[in-house]
Amino acid sequence: RPRVLSGIQPTAGSFHLGNYLGAVRQWVALQETHDAFYMVVDLHAITVPQDPKELRANTRLAAAQLLAAGLDPDRCTLFVQSHVPEHAQLAWVMNCITGFGEASRMTQFKDKSAKQGADRASVGLFTYPILQVADILLYQAHEVPVGEDQRQHIELTRDLATRFNGRFGDTFTLPKPYILKETAKIYDLQDPAVKMSKSASTPKGLINLLDEPKATAKKVKSAVTDTDTVIRYDVAEKPGVSNLLTIYSVLTGTTVPELEEKYAGKGYGALKTDLAEVMVDFVTPFRERTQQYLDDPETLDSILAKGAEKARAVAAETLAQAYERVGFLPAK
């Protein structure tokens, strides 16, 4: 079976609809066909300040949401990044073969550090993509299911893997991004020109999966569309409506042309009312299942412990090989 690896940050508490449609939904599907490794990336989370107590709680909460979304610990390996020390260890090696200029060109770093003020951004935020490179290479992943915003980091992973292999001998598998066109980028409901994101979206434009379903319905109903009235998928001319159609289509399994036909001659109000209902039907059981996992932290922790053990077995082997290739003297 080909292998996939991906991760999600435990930073915001609730996952948002972009995280789910862009990434987690694919993770669930891929566990059926791939040898799948999924992790809660707490090492990545501390690249920006975190409250320790909240980080711990949010790490469990992220794992609970992944299980609620449909990850099955018998079908995939689910773990917490900091439980596998090899991530930080390989990241150091990869840091040392990355050019400063190369790392400086990562757009996510540029955006995020600009927001914080360049002097206040941590060095960790700067090397975040290189930790991500290590995450992927440790598992010799063939594919990495992510949203469009991560494409550049997967490119960097390929570049660094190629460099390492060239310099030290074949060690790492070159991964490919696994990005589904329809859901590669889910947009803010209030500003369909920008990606839905926990840090950039306005509260009204961001659908958090753990919000009160009623509040979610309200956000859908007040989504920004356009002054036209026709329900048609056209990202350039009608980004707001197109975003709603994408969300509707993916959550219900109805194709976009089917939806266009269903709503021919109807107004935006009808589309939004129906989508609000679809969304409520989706988030209500999701919230309940998440709560069930949170109510049983022992089971949750034991799933994560088993996951870490399985992950470490793979990661340790790759790290040992990389260490040997680089020329580190083995510890006896």
Binding residue per annotation — 225? no
Considering only residues 313 through 332, tell me which ones interact with ligand AQP, judged by CB under 6 A. none
Binding residue per annotation — 18? yes
Choosing from 195, 219, 238, 272, the catalytic residue is 195
197/225 with CB nearer ligand AQP: 197
Choosing from 176, 198, 221, 262, the catalytic residue is 198
22/239 with CB nearer ligand AQP: 22
d(CA 280, CA 330): 56
Instruction: Give the ranges where 117-267 is alpha helix by DSSP (H).
Output: 123-138, 151-168, 213-221, 239-252, 256-262
Q: What backbone phi and psi angles, to 5 degrees, belong to 177?
A: -70, 145
Instruction: Choose the binding region for ligand AQP from 75-83, 145-153, 272-280, 307-315 (rule: CB under 6 A).
Output: 145-153
Residue 195 falls in the annotated catalytic set: yes
The binding track of 191-220 with respect to ligand AQP, each residue x by CB under 6 A or -, is ----xxxxxx--------------------
- Could you say whether residue 28 binds ligand AQP (CB under 6 A)? no
Residue 221 falls in the annotated catalytic set: no
Least distance between ligand AQP and beta carbon 195 (Å)? 4
Residue from 3, 4, 14, 18 touching ligand AQP (CB under 6 A): that is 18
Binding residue per annotation — 111? no
Write out the H or E segment, with its range, that includes residue 6: strand 3-8
Considering only residues 44 through 83, tell me which ones interact with ligand AQP, judged by CB under 6 A. none
Considering only residues 147 through 176, tell me which ones interact with ligand AQP, judged by CB under 6 A. 147, 149-150
Q: Is 316 left (phi over 0), alpha (psi -120 to 50) or beta?
A: alpha
The rounded Cα 324 to chain-centroid distance in angstroms is: 32
Write out the H or E segment, with its range, that includes residue 35: strand 35-40
Q: Tokens for 244? A: 């709603």
Binding residue per annotation — 239? no
Least distance between ligand AQP and beta carbon 331 (Å)? 34
DSSP symbol at 203: G
Residue from 14, 19, 65, 190 touching ligand AQP (CB under 6 A): that is 19
Angle at 252 between CA 247 and CA 254, to 5 degrees: 90
What is the number of the residue whose Cβ is closest to ligand AQP?
22
Residue 198 falls in the annotated catalytic set: yes
Instruction: Choose the binding region for ligand AQP from 14-22, 51-59, 259-267, 295-303 (rule: CB under 6 A).
Output: 14-22
Q: What is the CA radius of gyration of the chain?
A: 21
DSSP symbol at 238: B
Instruction: Count the residues in the chain.
Output: 332
Q: What backbone phi and psi angles, to 5 degrees, belong to 3?
A: -105, 140
113/197 with CB nearer ligand AQP: 197
CA distances from 306 to 55, 74, 159, 226, 241 (A): 21, 10, 32, 50, 44
DSSP symbol at 88: H
Residue 8, SS3?
Answer: strand
Q: What backbone phi and psi angles, to 5 degrees, belong to 13?
A: 90, -95
Instruction: Choose the binding region for ligand AQP from 19-27, 215-223, 269-277, 309-317 (rule: CB under 6 A).
Output: 19-27
Binding residue per annotation — 2? no
* Binding-site residue ranges for ATP: 9-11, 18-19, 147-149, 186, 195-199
The residues annotated with a catalytic role in the active site are 112, 195, 198
| Residues of this chain that bind ligand AQP (CB under 6 A) | 8-9, 16, 18-19, 22-23, 146-147, 149-150, 185-186, 195-200
